[in-house]
Amino acid sequence: MYVRLLASLVAVSPIGCADSTPIDYSGPVAEWREYAGDKGGLHFSPLDQIRRENVGRLERVWSHRSGDAHPGDAENAPTAFQVTPLVVNETLYYCTGYMRVFALDPETGAERWVFDPGLRAKGTGGPYPLTCRGVAYWEAEAPQSGRACERRILYGTKDSELIALDAETGRPCADFGDAGRVALREGIGDAPPWEYYPTSPPLVMDDLVVLGALVADQLKVDAPSGVVRAFDVRSGRRVWAWDPVPPGFDVSRRPGELYQRGTPNVWSILSGDEERGLVFVPTGNASPDSFGGARRGLDHYGSSTVALDAATGRVAWHFQTVHHDVWDYDVSTQPTLFQIDGVGGGRPALAQATKMGHVFLLDRETGEPLYPVEERPVPQGGVPGETLSPTQPFPTHPLPLHPTELTPENLFGFTPIDRSSCRQQLADLRWDGIFTPPTLEGSIQFPHTAGGMNWGGVAIDPARGVLYTNQTHIAMTVRLVPRDEYDAMPEGSVQYPREAYPMDGTPYGVLRAPFFSRFGAPCNPPPWGSLTAVDLRSGEVLWRVGLGTTRDQAPFPLWAIPATGHLGAPNFGGGLLTAGQLYFIGATTDRYLRAFDTETGEEIWSDRIPFTGNATPMSFRLRADAKQFVVIAAGGNPLTGTGDALLAYALSE
């Protein structure tokens, strides 16, 4: 038996057609200056030296090991390696779970410098591993050679500090804050180190650096504020702060606090439109996530895309993807900016993907949907004290991408006993489709709180007008527990993969668990992970394939049994789209980096990597006589094994 999330029964091995043609050096060159390649989050590279015809010759050419990996113990939190590096001015920059920053030679992996912030918050408190998804880059309008900090690397740490480094030397910029550091706890109020800190890269807009922070889920009503702030990139001075409280809200703050507690936080990746001076913010939930009866309307901006004026922080518009969210369906993906003829009349647009598998296409300047969004009735009758929204928004172009059907007939099981245990759970739990509310008796939630789509985001081909996305398809169970019953539970009585959260200040605690069979397999039908291509012009799905296998989760030979198609694997991370008509992705639990043909969805290359690649790959090519590289962080997470391997690939001669 096994309890970890499963994937496909199909064994995958490296594939790719033999090719002996010389490497083509005539194509474009490009750096990777932003987390997703550009400020709009396209995850698209214009490079085409690596193509469908020659991807079989892709080989690993260097790896870098930071040493910053830990499985977790009594004194140290576990690490997760989720970074997407930058390549700027012929230098590669990346950060680790211990918040060290490395500068490397992009073509050899040789170290140029390393900065250690002396992280203080390495302890095990809190539910999350140590992670740093990326850094940001800024340079002066006319950088002067030899002058310190004319080019800067900026990032946040678990010590709740915003740090600015000289990109040339790695030394802290003395003119930024206090010796290169700005304290992000100012005005936040008391909270343990693990409850509030940034995990995603900041966004640089002109001479401002903008960022939010993670706020730990499900703990209490008065969680730290979800404020988003902008700082002067030279001095570290705070320029503006957006405190996401509704218009007319009666703000109540404790002494020394500048921002309202319990507001939706912004932990994921921001996007920016420099031409229009807008910052696009994906918001989480008001606190706590699974009961909204005590929020007092603070979820006005929750589970939304919010457009802020980059100069002032004022709200330009906002679009809510879930009303009164009690499912932890916070907006976790980076808003993706595009403008494509034939999509929404060619308007400047934004695609917002969600954990529910919904993709909302919005006018970038107004927030209005480019295509009809229907408010549909959803299940009611939650718990006493809760007021559910009677409707939820559903996109019609494209239609929802995540399956939502669970019936006794379509439940999965490796054996009749397996399937029977799933059917019994389905009979015992409430399931009325997507947006079934949490109940005292227990409910099924599908999609999972991890998605659908998560922080890995989507990729868009700006020429072909096609969106590509990976998804996880796993159902879970949720039960609200009356306060006295929850408080009487013995400490440690709930063990992984079950979760327990107190939601202090409400009448309930919450218990969550995967919807698994007695043998530890997902009860919902496969695929349990997928990759999908969507034509944004027509809204139609072009193809959908399973992503991943059960290798490293299921015992041999179970994962190697031939099957008619991929069952897929849960996946965490995102994909890279290139002009060479390839889509690269790690993400899955089975420790592979894969390349897919963007026209057919066929997997045409893969490489077995030392740890799961729970990050988003990137690509660069420095000069006309240089090779194109693809780089991924393969360092896994506490569930699949922790590591520290940054891997680079290029074509063999």
Phi, psi of 299 (to 5 degrees): -90, 20
Distance, CA of 598 to CA of 201 (rounded, Å): 28
213: containing domain: 44-141+148-651
> In the chain, how many domains are there?
1
Distance, CA of 199 to CA of 184 (rounded, Å): 13
Residue 557 has a pLDDT of: 52
pLDDT digits (tens, 9 = 90+) for 511-540: 999 999 988 889 999 999 999 999 999 999
pLDDT digits (tens, 9 = 90+) for 243-278: 999 999 999 899 999 999 999 999 999 999 999 999
Across the strands, what pairs with 153?
137, 165
Catalytic positions, written as ranges: 328
Identify whether 235 is part of a domain.
Answer: yes
Residues whose CB falls within 8 Å of the CB of residue 407, separated by 6 or more in sequence, listed in order = none
Identify whether 606 is part of a domain.
Answer: yes
- How far separated are the first and last CA of the chain, in Å rounded? 45
Identify whether 1 is part of a domain.
Answer: no
Residue 19 has a pLDDT of: 72
Identify whether 2 is part of a domain.
Answer: no
3-state secondary structure of 226: coil
pLDDT digits (tens, 9 = 90+) for 304-336: 999 999 999 999 999 999 999 999 999 999 999
Average pLDDT, the chain: 93
Identify whether 10 is part of a domain.
Answer: no
Residue 527 has which token pair?
A: 């695929």
CA angle 642, 647, 650 (to 5 degrees): 160
3-state secondary structure of 474: coil
Nearest to 596 by CA among 583, 607, 606: 583
Identify whether 257 is part of a domain.
Answer: yes
Nearest to 305 by CA among 349, 343, 254, 241: 349
Residue 565 has a pLDDT of: 45
Residue with tokens 């030279």, as numbered in its chain: 234
Residue 554 has a pLDDT of: 66
Contact 175, 149 (CB under 8 A): yes
Structural Rg of the chain based on CA atoms: 23
Residue 74 has a pLDDT of: 85
How many other CB atoms sit within 10 Å of the CB of residue 611?
Answer: 21
Identify whether 13 is part of a domain.
Answer: no
Residue 6 has a pLDDT of: 36
Residue with tokens 């360092």, as numbered in its chain: 635
Residue 553 has a pLDDT of: 72
Residue 530 has which token pair?
A: 């997928």
- The secondary element (H helix, E strand) that includes residue 427 is helix 416-428
Q: Write out residues in the chain with pLDDT < 50, as ranges.
A: 1-17, 556, 563-565
Residue 549 has a pLDDT of: 87
What are the angstrom distances between the C-alpha of 469 and each of 76, 325, 359, 633?
34, 23, 10, 19
Residue 494 has a pLDDT of: 84
Distance, CA of 40 to CA of 279 (rounded, Å): 10
CATH number of the domain that 309 lies in?
Answer: 2.140.10.10
Residue 319 has a pLDDT of: 98
Distance, CA of 77 to CA of 71 (rounded, Å): 8
Residues whose CB falls within 8 Å of the CB of residue 304, separated by 6 or more in sequence, listed in order = 264, 282, 283, 318, 319, 320, 321, 331
3-state secondary structure of 105: coil
Identify whether 358 is part of a domain.
Answer: yes
Residue 341 has which token pair?
A: 């003829």
Residue 559 has a pLDDT of: 52
Across the strands, what pairs with 585?
575, 594
